[in-house]
Amino acid sequence: MSFWIASGFVLLATLIAIILSIIRARANSSDEYNATIYHDQLNEVKRDIDHGVLSAEDGEALKTEIKKRLEKNTKIVLANAKDQSKQAGARSPITVAIAIVGIIPFTSYGLYSYLGSPGKPDLPFANRQFNPSFDAASAKMDSLVKKLRERLDQNPNQLKGWILLGQSLVNLKRFNAASNAFKQALKIAPNRAEIAASAAETRFMAKDGKFDQEVRDYFKMAQRLNPEEHKALYYLGLDSFMAKKYASAIQYWVDLISISPAGAPWMDNVRGRLIDAAEASNLKISNFIPRLKSASKSSKKLRQSREPAPTQEDINNANEMSKKEREKFIRSMVERLANSLKSAPNDLNGWRRLARSYRVLGEQKKAAEAEQRAIELEK
């Protein structure tokens, strides 16, 4: 008898929690960000291939896997949208709550009396059917991740390996492990804003879409390293929005829109968020002036005037060079950048690019000096 009384109290508490959650406004689902994240990952892979961080073979394999997951996610989103359109207006939250109160108690106790009775015989293990928790592609990816992790344990200073491990773990939805991988990569390349943003984003996903101080710190670090880091701008705006700091959220998102390329996959989501923030605060979006637009354009013009770009003849000559000659050519380009910074010592982005160039060439001391100069300019 005491079992039925205890289970009754548990059932009542559960029903109250379910009803309240239904009546309240729906919380944001992490699935809302999936399409944007997959597009971001494709862009990151392309950028890493262009920068030489990833080989073309590894990059194409990773892009293929991400595209499969993007296609699968798109189908799910379309199916959910179709279901919601059919159900729109058909059921109100109160109606659903009443239905739950009426159905759950009788159904659960009925099932218990049939399946959970102590007098029922056990189901033999051999007769039980199991569904695999992941498909063949996930199993292959999991095997690759294990091998990659073993190589990194033996040689932990491989930046490319940690980035690839983090991206692979994201595809497996092991977000906490992915965040740790990106943090290891950031230790090797502390000037890479996109790595800091990925470390923050994956920790945010691991915490089911919740911000904590560590997430905020990594996003702020990413923005300091690159004021135009789009993930940092979006998520810092989202953090402000969730804290009801609507003016701050609007400013972040206005800045993000101002520096985003045409057709960026995150634009529709950002615009929708921007409207929600404006409606919640009765603020006019037109009153917010982008902080990055003019700075971005002027810095672009400044770079064009200071840094001589390689001519088509230079490019053709580079394609015909031997490996040794090509390295010499690259060094000459880096030297031109270094010389241009002598006449423009306050060009923050220039010092960052110079640091990255020296790291590619393996000149760690010069890279550290350039990074130190960039840090001094940020203060």
Which is more confident, 325 or 189?
Answer: 189
pLDDT score recorded for residue 295: 42
Say if residue 196 is in the same domain as residue 320: no
| Residue in the block written with tokens 């760690």 | 364
Average confidence (pLDDT) over 281-306? 64
User: Mean pLDDT lowest for which of 233-237, 302-306, 312-316, 322-326?
Assistant: 302-306
Question: Residue 180 above 60 pLDDT?
Answer: yes
Average confidence (pLDDT) over 134-147? 72
Q: Considering 164, 191, 210, which residue would you say is the last residue of a domain? A: 210
> How many whole angstroms separate alpha carbon 191 and alpha carbon 193?
6
Average confidence (pLDDT) over 18-34? 53
3-state secondary structure the chain: CHHHHHHHHHHHHHHHHHHHHHHCCCCCCHHHHHHHHHHHHHHHHHHHHHHCCCCHHHHHHHHHHHHHHHHHHHHHHHHHHHHHHHHCCCCCHHHHHHHHHHHHHHHHHHHHHHHCCCCCCCCCHHHCCCCCCCCHHHHHHHHHHHHHHHHHHHCCCCHHHHHHHHHHHHHCCCHHHHHHHHHHHHHHCCCCHHHHHHHHHHHHHHCCCCCCHHHHHHHHHHHHHCCCCHHHHHHHHHHHHHCCCHHHHHHHHHHHHHHCCCCCCCHHHHHHHHHHHHHHHCCCHHHCCCCCHHHHHHHHHHHHHHCCCCCHHHHHHHHCCCHHHHHHHHHHHHHHHHHHHHHCCCCHHHHHHHHHHHHHHCCHHHHHHHHHHHHHHHC
Question: Residues 242-249: contacts with CB within 8 Å, 24+ apart?
Answer: 242/211, 244/280, 246/277, 246/278, 246/280, 246/281, 246/283, 247/281, 247/283, 247/288, 249/273, 249/277
What is the end-to-end Cα distance of the chain in Å, rounded? 70
Which is more confident, 318 or 222?
Answer: 222
Domain containing residue 49: CATH number: 1.25.40.10
In a domain, 310, yes or no: yes
pLDDT score recorded for residue 294: 43
Q: Considering 158, 182, 210, which residue would you say is the last residue of a domain? A: 210
Question: Residue 33 above 80 pLDDT?
Answer: no
Name which of 210, 114, 278, 191 is nearest 200 in CA terms.
210
> How many whole angstroms separate alpha carbon 114 and alpha carbon 319?
75
Question: Residue 18 above 60 pLDDT?
Answer: yes
Question: Residue 296 above 50 pLDDT?
Answer: no
Question: Residues 220-228: contacts with CB within 8 Å, 24+ apart?
Answer: 221/193, 221/196, 222/193, 222/194, 222/196, 222/197, 223/193, 224/378, 225/191, 225/192, 225/193, 225/196, 225/352, 226/193, 226/194, 226/352, 227/292, 227/295, 228/259, 228/292, 228/296
What are 258-274's pLDDT values in tens digits? 998 877 888 888 888 98
Question: What average pLDDT does the structure give for the chain?
Answer: 74
Question: Residue 309 above 80 pLDDT?
Answer: no
pLDDT > 70 fraction of the chain, expressed in percent and rounded:
62
In a domain, 140, yes or no: yes
In a domain, 309, yes or no: yes
Query: 54, 23 in Cβ contact below 8 A?
Result: no
In a domain, 13, yes or no: no
In a domain, 235, yes or no: no
pLDDT > 90 fraction of the chain, expressed in percent and rounded:
23
Average confidence (pLDDT) over 166-171? 88
Question: Residue 158 above 70 pLDDT?
Answer: yes
pLDDT score recorded for residue 312: 42
What are 218-272's pLDDT values in tens digits? 999 999 999 999 999 999 999 999 999 999 999 999 999 999 887 788 888 888 8
Instruction: Give exposure, 136-164, as e/b (b: 16+ Cβ within 10 Å).
Output: eebeebeebbeebbeebeeeeebbebbbb
In a domain, 25, yes or no: no
Q: Is 62 exposed, middle or buried (0-12, 13-18, 19+ CB in 10 A)?
A: buried
> How many whole angstroms separate alpha carbon 73 and alpha carbon 70?
5
**How many domains are contained in the chain?**
2
pLDDT score recorded for residue 20: 63
In a domain, 55, yes or no: yes
Query: 152, 162 in Cβ contact below 8 A?
Result: yes
pLDDT score recorded for residue 243: 94
Q: Considering 150, 181, 210, which residue would you say is the last residue of a domain? A: 210
Query: 145, 168 in Cβ contact below 8 A?
Result: yes
What are 326-356's pLDDT values in tens digits? 566 677 777 888 888 887 788 887 888 888 8
pLDDT score recorded for residue 100: 59
Contacts of residue 331, defined as CB under 8 A and 6 or more positions apart, other chains included, come to 361
In a domain, 285, yes or no: no
Query: Whole domain around residue 170: which residue ranges?
Result: 32-79+136-210
User: Mean pLDDT lowest for which of 104-113, 254-263, 268-277, 279-288?
Assistant: 104-113
Residue 1 binned pLDDT confidence (cut-offs 50, 70, 90): low
pLDDT score recorded for residue 368: 81
pLDDT score recorded for residue 41: 76
